[in-house]
Amino acid sequence: MSEFTPWYNETVGGAVVEALKKNGFEAEYCATGGDAAQRLLELIPEAASVGFGGSWTLKALGISEKLAARGNTILDHGAPGLTNEEKADIRRKQQICDVFLSGTNALTMDGKLVNMDGSGNRVAAMIFGHGKVIVVAGTNKIVKDTAAAEERIRMKAAPINNKRLGTPNPCSRTGVCMDCQGPTRICNVLTIIGKRPLGTNFHVLIVGEELGF
């Protein structure tokens, strides 16, 4: 990392924080992943049930383990050893938990969150049903606009997630979205959250590091 990277991350991240605030979100900049993890512990009540949206950004912060250690109820459908039925049950419970945590596929300079899902459970939970939603995003997720966000998803996030999930979809081999039409396609539900959803306490933490896909 060059000596100029922290300046760039803070400058661009700070601009997106202000854009998010104009769109009705609570937003703040955290210089490091450690700072973000500490802030999450401050924002989440100790008695809260906490759902996780399958985010590798959050995995990098180790926040699930930190919350579990202090007594929070954790709802993570990506936990090891779960059957498909157990995963489906946890996904349903994530829709009504006290706090929902997620990353985002892309975040635009004008403060919009852009995401692509296979079944829609993650984006549904981001939009409605919780006392608090918190999204954490590294500055590597910041793009110019929604067109660039969709391009980022198709050129990077989707191929990597297909590889991670072990799907037989073409981008698992080519590294580039092929707009596949098979039953295992994960690019089915595109959402753009342009303003804070009504009735939802929505907090965004931008982290001055490269996190997630």
| Residues 158-210 pLDDT 10s | 888 888 888 989 898 999 888 899 888 988 999 999 999 999 999 999 999 99
Parse the chain into domains and list their residue ranges. Answer: 5-207
Whose tokens are 């409605």? That residue is: 128
CATH architecture of the domain formed by 5-207 = 3-Layer(aba) Sandwich (3.40)
pTM of the complete model: 0.94
pLDDT confidence tier of residue 1, bands split at 50, 70 and 90: low
* Per-residue pLDDT at 16 exceeds 70: yes
Residue 182 pLDDT: 86
Q: Are 147 and 155 in contact (CB under 8 A)?
A: no
| Residues 89-135 pLDDT 10s | 999 999 999 999 999 999 999 999 999 998 899 999 999 877 899 99
**Cβ partners under 8 Å of residue 111, min gap 6:** 16, 18, 19, 20, 21, 22, 23, 25, 27
